[in-house]
Amino acid sequence: MTSTATSKPDILMIDPMPDDITQRLADHFTLHRYRGMDALGPVASSIRGVTTGGGAGLKPEIMAALPHLEIISVNGVGTDQIDLVEAKRRGIRVATTQGVLDDDVADMAIGLMIDVMRGISANDRFVRAGHWGKLPVPNSHALTGKKVGIVGFGQIGSIIAERADALRMTVAYYARHRKDGVSYPYFDSIVALADHVDVLILAVPGTPETRNMVNRAVIDALGPNGYLINIARGSVVDEPELVAALTEERIAGAGLDVFVDEPHVPEALLALDNVVLQAHRGTSTVEVRTAMGHLVIDNLLAQFAGKPLLTPVI
């Protein structure tokens, strides 16, 4: 990690970004990659901006080590791994990439739902293992006419609803508040929604309030014919309860993009055919990662030019 004599603002990059984005960052800023607290020490006082992912966020000890930090530009929309209260207290601005990733994350939710209900990944393994023609192929389940419950009806949840509509599924939702102008049925209890639907899709932020929101009662309400899809945050689900329910077939299956302790995935899930696993890939498309990267940079440029941030959180 080296600091160069330049007027370009110093930026600390926590999570790697695509090569073309990293190049554009380096064109505008003196770029330092985070390689641990020891390596950070000599340049810490020069850092004016941080780029990071929604999952990585900014650890409190790193934020505390950067006395001249002005802005955290998040390459994602989740701010659950950033102490926003402390950032606000210190006058540190926080921006996210809201508005450019919603469609692709919604696609991941729908993809996971189709995959786990139709058994696509499971059947792929079946074919590759040479079982076709030798073992019976289990039937999967239809989507058309099934009921989908969306937990959290914001930017991403509302797009999931549009896509589920197009699949001729019936949509209902749960959030803290009924949404103005939304005609889908609103449930004021996640347990009641889980009881009503065939598929529960999670699209809430990871907050202290939503921690373990999907608990034993919700899983039991979803029942042995129900599917859980999580593209929100691992913390929203009581993971040991989910693993037990899947193992004991107390729910039909799950499609999971996010986990409590990423990149660790509970060992028991790896052997289950009624689970589809992803490595937190909701936004991992070339198109969206490029758009997100440019927005991360544009927020930094706005900050250092004294202009309003494009997509501020605080």
Closest CB 105 distance from ligand NAP, rounded Å: 4
Show Cβ contacts of residue 182 under 8 Å, excluding neighbours closer than 6 positions.
153, 158, 173
Which of residues 121 and 155 has its CB atom nearest to ligand NAP in the complex? Answer: 155
Q: Which residue shows structure tokens 């959030």?
A: 175
Whether residue 157 contacts residue 203, with contact meaning beta carbons closer than 8 Å, is answered with: yes
DSSP character at residue 184: S
- The alpha-helical segments, DSSP class H, found in the chain are 19-28, 37-40, 60-64, 84-90, 102-118, 120-128, 155-166, 190-196, 216-222, 239-247, 267-270, 286-304
Closest CB 182 distance from ligand NAP, rounded Å: 10
Closest CB 175 distance from ligand NAP, rounded Å: 4
Which of residues 205 and 223 has its CB atom nearest to ligand NAP in the complex? Answer: 205
CA dist., res. 11 & res. 86, Å (int) = 20
Half-sphere exposure of 26 (CA within 13 A, CB side): 12
Residue 95: how many other CB atoms lie within 10 Å:
23
Instruction: Name the residues annotated as catalytic.
Output: 233, 262, 280
Extract the tokens encoding 78.
């989740």
Which of residues 111 and 119 has its CB atom nearest to ligand NAP in the complex? Answer: 111
Which of residues 96 and 303 has its CB atom nearest to ligand NAP in the complex? Answer: 96
Strand, helix or coil for residue 286: helix
Which of residues 154 and 312 has its CB atom nearest to ligand NAP in the complex? Answer: 154
CA dist., res. 133 & res. 112, Å (int) = 27
Closest CB 174 distance from ligand NAP, rounded Å: 6
Residues binding ligand NAP (CB under 6 A): 76-78, 101, 105, 152-157, 175-177, 203-207, 209-210, 231-233, 257-258, 280, 282-283
